[in-house]
């Protein structure tokens, strides 16, 4: 007779990192951190199974505050690095965390192509519509007219729409959350991690120091959960229409999901049939392989 020792299930607390966040008190990023910790605990994941990859910016400090394997990489490059991680070891759960400047500005090219490839990543963008770590300049998601240190007379550039961009580029799970609604964030994040493809969640994460326009109050007055609207996430046209609304009503929730498209690693022939990750296969090639190669050279 064997006695099964069951370890105590992990809780959100077990995913607390080695140091406390250095974010400003009241920063929206706290809520996303908390929601992510709750999500992975509820999914029964262990810290060693997760890699959290970030770029640079306030929100990109996330991996240091989250107990899992982490990579705090270069500004804008988190998705490229994360693609390397996931494709080299598809058994890992890979989260990517960062901000709007990191993801939609300097990293915009990787955003497009990661979506197109449908890499199985969960991308959490803490969108505060401002450059915070550099003390308050306009961002690619800042509203027209917004006054910042680099646009003292008001922003004249129209903002990117992360939701329609993600859908149009091929992301297969696209949601929007708000730091003021942790419950919804947990639902979105759990769905994103379980989704076998590129999942993007754009999170309204107010910057309490540098963005006086897009505050908690601004969003509280406007957010409308799609769950209450009877929206069908398989309907991309409806998703895009709702994502284009930005006035007294701004939708949050799951805009779009397509489970039919296979992820990149599922399509990769060398990983067919449950092959082990390339990170863990023996390096050496066989004599037969060598002989075949050399024969073709003769």
Question: Judged by CB under 8 A, does residue 135 bind other proteins?
Answer: no
For the bound state, the minimum distance from the C-beta of residue 82 to other proteins, rounded and expressed in Å, comes to 6
Question: Judged by CB under 8 A, does residue 194 bind other proteins?
Answer: no
For the bound state, the minimum distance from the C-beta of residue 235 to other proteins, rounded and expressed in Å, comes to 29
Site string for other proteins, 258-277 (x = CB under 8 A): ----------xxx----x-x
Q: Which residues of 36-57 are buried (b: 16+ CB within 10 A; e: fewer)?
A: bbbbbbbeebebeebbbbbbbb
User: What is the SS3 assignment for 96?
Assistant: strand
The answer to whether 17 and 65 are in contact (CB under 8 A) is yes
Q: Is 255 exposed, middle or buried (0-12, 13-18, 19+ CB in 10 A)?
A: buried
Give the orientation angle of helix 108-117 with respect to helix 162-169, to 10 degrees: 50
Interacting residue with other proteins among 32, 53, 115, 125 (CB under 8 A): 53
Question: Judged by CB under 8 A, does residue 19 bind other proteins?
Answer: yes
Nearest in space to 180 (alpha carbons), one of 206, 201, 154, 161: 206
For the bound state, the minimum distance from the C-beta of residue 67 to other proteins, rounded and expressed in Å, comes to 7
Site string for other proteins, 213-252 (x = CB under 8 A): ----------------------------------------
Question: Judged by CB under 8 A, does residue 169 bind other proteins?
Answer: no
Task: Quote the CA–CA distance of 61 and 63 in Å, as a whole number.
Answer: 6
The answer to whether 138 and 146 are in contact (CB under 8 A) is yes
Structure tokens given for 120: 């199985």
For the bound state, the minimum distance from the C-beta of residue 140 to other proteins, rounded and expressed in Å, comes to 17
Task: Quote the CA–CA distance of 13 and 10 in Å, as a whole number.
Answer: 8
Nearer to other proteins among residue 156 and residue 298 (C-beta):
298
Interacting residue with other proteins among 27, 31, 92, 124 (CB under 8 A): 92
Q: Which of residues 30-49 bind other proteins (CB under 8 A)?
A: 46-49
For the bound state, the minimum distance from the C-beta of residue 188 to other proteins, rounded and expressed in Å, comes to 24
Structure tokens given for 175: 């949601």
Which residues form the interface with other proteins (CB under 8 A)?
17-19, 22, 46-49, 51-53, 56, 61, 63-64, 67-74, 77, 80-85, 87-89, 91-92, 109-110, 112-113, 268-270, 275, 277-285, 287, 289-290, 292-294, 297-298
């Amino acid at each position: 007779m064997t006695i099964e020792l069951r370890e105590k299930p992990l809780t959100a607390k077990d995913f607390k990192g080695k140091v406390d966040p250095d974010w400003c008190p009241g920063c929206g990023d706290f809520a996303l951190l908390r929601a992510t910790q709750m999500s992975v605990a509820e999914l029964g994941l262990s810290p060693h199974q997760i890699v959290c990859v970030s770029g640079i910016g306030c929100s990109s400090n996330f991996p240091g505050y989250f107990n899992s394997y982490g990579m705090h990489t270069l500004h804008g490059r988190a998705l490229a690095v994360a693609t390397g991680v996931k494709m080299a070891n598809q058994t890992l759960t890979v989260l990517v965390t960062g901000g709007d400047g990191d993801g939609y500005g300097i990293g915009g090219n990787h955003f497009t192509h990661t979506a197109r490839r449908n890499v199985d990543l969960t991308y959490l963008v803490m969108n505060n519509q401002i450059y915070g770590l550099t003390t308050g300049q306009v961002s690619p998601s800042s509203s027209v007219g917004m006054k910042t240190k680099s646009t003292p007379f008001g922003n004249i550039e129209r903002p990117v729409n992360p939701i329609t961009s993600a859908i149009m580029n091929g992301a297969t799970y696209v949601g929007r959350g708000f730091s003021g609604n942790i419950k919804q964030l947990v639902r979105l994040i759990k769905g994103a991690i379980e989704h076998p493809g590129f999942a993007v969640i754009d999170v309204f994460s107010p910057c309490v120091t540098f963005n006086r326009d897009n505050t908690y109050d601004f969003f509280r007055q406007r957010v409308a959960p799609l769950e209450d609207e009877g929206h069908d996430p398989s309907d991309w046209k409806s998703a895009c229409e709702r994502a284009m609304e930005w006035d007294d009503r701004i939708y949050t929730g799951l805009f779009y999901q397509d489970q039919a498209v296979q992820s990149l690693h599922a399509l990769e022939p060398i990983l067919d049939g449950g092959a082990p990750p390339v990170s863990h296969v023996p390096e050496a090639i066989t004599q037969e392989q060598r002989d075949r190669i050399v024969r073709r050279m003769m």
